[in-house]
Each structure stands twice: as structure tokens, then as C-alpha cells.
A and B are shown apart, each in its own frame.
Chain A
Amino acid sequence: MKPPFPDSEDEQLRALFQSATPPLPDAGFTERALRRVPPRRPLALPPLLWAAIGAFVGAAVASAAIAFSADSPALNVSANQMLSPVIELVREPACGIALLLTIVSLAATWLVVRQHDPSLRLRRP
């Protein structure tokens, strides 16, 4: 790439420097570099499928927790409580834990997929 203000002197200096230092021979450098590059960890499934699996696991755990506490008073909501059933559900410890597990599960899935699949980190110009 040429500098923004090229002139003949710059060109001549560049030619001098480059003729004094021809390209270094590879001499096994690339092979050594490739040996140090970590092998890609196997992850055949596409990232969306992994995300779906994570969401499914999270939802299953949440459902199990809610079912486990089905006889909880929190589910027998009163008329007033009908206005805020989600809040009441979250207040129930088992449901709160289930919700937390769902969030943690989704976050962990996302992190794992992001770590394994570089395409999720691709930033296009």
C-alpha cells in the first residue's frame, strides 16, 4: 500500500529497502505455526440447534419445577392476584428457581455455542 503522499524519493527509498531485504524463506515456519494452532473442537450441530436444545432443557426444568409445586398456594390465585400472576409465580420459590434455571441454561448454552462456533463471532464490515 502506498503512502498518501508518494513522491519519487519515497518510491526510491522503498525500492532500496526492499531490494536490501528480500522476502524471508518460510523454512518450516508455517508448519510450526500450524502445529501450535488449537484443533477446532467438534461441534457438528448448527448454533441455532444448540440454542433450541438449551431452550428446551431450560423449559423442561422450569416445567418440572412448576409441576412439582402445582399444589402451591401461589397457583391458586385470587381475583386480585389475577392482575399479576407472573409476579406471584416468580414469588413462589420453586417457580423462581425454575425461572432462574431457565435463564442460566439459556445463557450457558449461548456461551458454549459462541465459544465453539466462530461464525457467531463473525463481524461483517
Chain B
Amino acid sequence: MPDAESQLIVRVLLDGDHAAFGELVRQHQSSVRNFLRHLTRADAATADDLAQETFLRAFRSLSAYRGDSSFSTWLLGIAYNQWRNARRRRRDETPLDHNAAELTTPATDRASDLRADLSTALRGLSANEQLAVHLAYQQGLAHPEIATLTGWPLGTVKTHLARGKDKLRVLLSAWNPAS
């Protein structure tokens, strides 16, 4: 964890420093919101509501953060639990399906093309493969962190990633990811 981030966390813990917490939110809002947009099938409004809940929960339970994983991973874990709780409340037991693979960030033309191709390619993956690929390549998490966050065994994480990567290698060949 970067020293600056540690200092912000300590300031929030010791002084309830809102400015420090605001800085933490600013630094991590994008990854948390992107992750929730992935989980909510690109429902930006729901994803942002859940992201707000995530940061509120993080503020309240910051003392429980022990530094075992990066702060970012800890936040994503809270976001994942928020999403699962929300889904349970809505009794929407539909598993994350192929429609989850939406990348909705506004961007440049080239990025738009790439985004469209990535979305199409991700639809060819199972829900768990999509989640593993998102966490590994979009969020940049290590395999053990993905295992902790999802509750999957490490071997399962590697299997999902390997299968997802095999499929992406074919589906994204135009972008030449394996060269």
C-alpha cells in the first residue's frame, strides 16, 4: 500500500477526517464503479448507488481493514458483497450472464471500437470467466486477491482465467493480444 494512502487511512481512523476520506474516494471511485457496472450489466445508476453504499460501508468499517490485501481489493470485496446483497434483496437470482459483459465508459473512437470488440468477445465467456477476466485484466488484481474476493479456490481462479484467456485469444485476434 502506498505510504500516502496509509496516511489517509490513519487520518480517517484517528480523526474521522472527511477530507482524507474524500481523497480515498476520489482515488478509488473509478475502479469501484467500473467493477459494479460490470456486475450490474452496465446499469450505471444502480452501479453508482451501490458504489455509494460501498464507500459508506467502507467508512464505517475501516477499522476492520487489516492491510492483508491492498485497500483497492478490500474496497472491491465490499462492492462485491453489496452487489450480492442487492441482488438477493431483489430476489433476482439470475446469474451473471453474457449480457454482463458491457463496457460503458465514454471514450475516444479507437477506444469505442476496442470497447465494442471487447464487449462482444466477453459475451463468449461464462459469467465466472468474465468476472475473473475483469478482475485480473481490468482491475489488475493478482490471482490470490481474486480468490479472496470471490471466495473461489486459487485453482478455480486460474482455471477460469486460463479458459477466458483461451477464448479471448481467438475472439480478440484482430487486436493481436497474444503477439
Contact = CB atoms under 8 A, between A and B. Distances in A.
Interface in A1-33: 1-5, 9-10, 12-14, 16-24, 26, 29-30, 32-33
Interface stretch (A34-42, A68-76, A93-101): A34-42
B170 to A, nearest CB: 13
Contact of B144 (A4, A21, A33): A4
Instruction: Give the interface size bracket for B toward A.
Output: 35 or more
Contacts, number: 126
A33 B114 contact: no
A13 B25 CA distance: 27
B99 interface: no
A91 to B, nearest CB: 42
A29 B70 CA distance: 22
Interface stretch (A78-86, A104-112, A114-122): A114-122
Contacts of A10: 136-137, 165
Contacts of A21: 34, 103, 105, 107, 111, 115, 138
Contact of A23 (B30, B59, B175, B178): B30
A22 B107 contact: yes
B55 interface: yes
B118 A1 contact: no
A18 B29 contact: no
Given A19-B111, A26-B29, A29-B29, A13 B63 contact: no
B105 A14 contact: no
Given A1-B142, A16-B177, A122-B63, A37 B115 contact: no
Interface of A: 1-5, 9-10, 12-14, 16-24, 26, 29-30, 32-34, 36-37, 40, 118-119, 121-123, 125
Given A24-B33, A29-B48, 17 more contacts: A13-B133, A14-B137, A16-B172, A24-B34, A26-B26, A26-B30, A30-B26, A34-B21, A34-B25, A37-B18, A37-B21, A37-B59, A118-B13, A118-B16, A122-B13, A122-B63, A125-B67
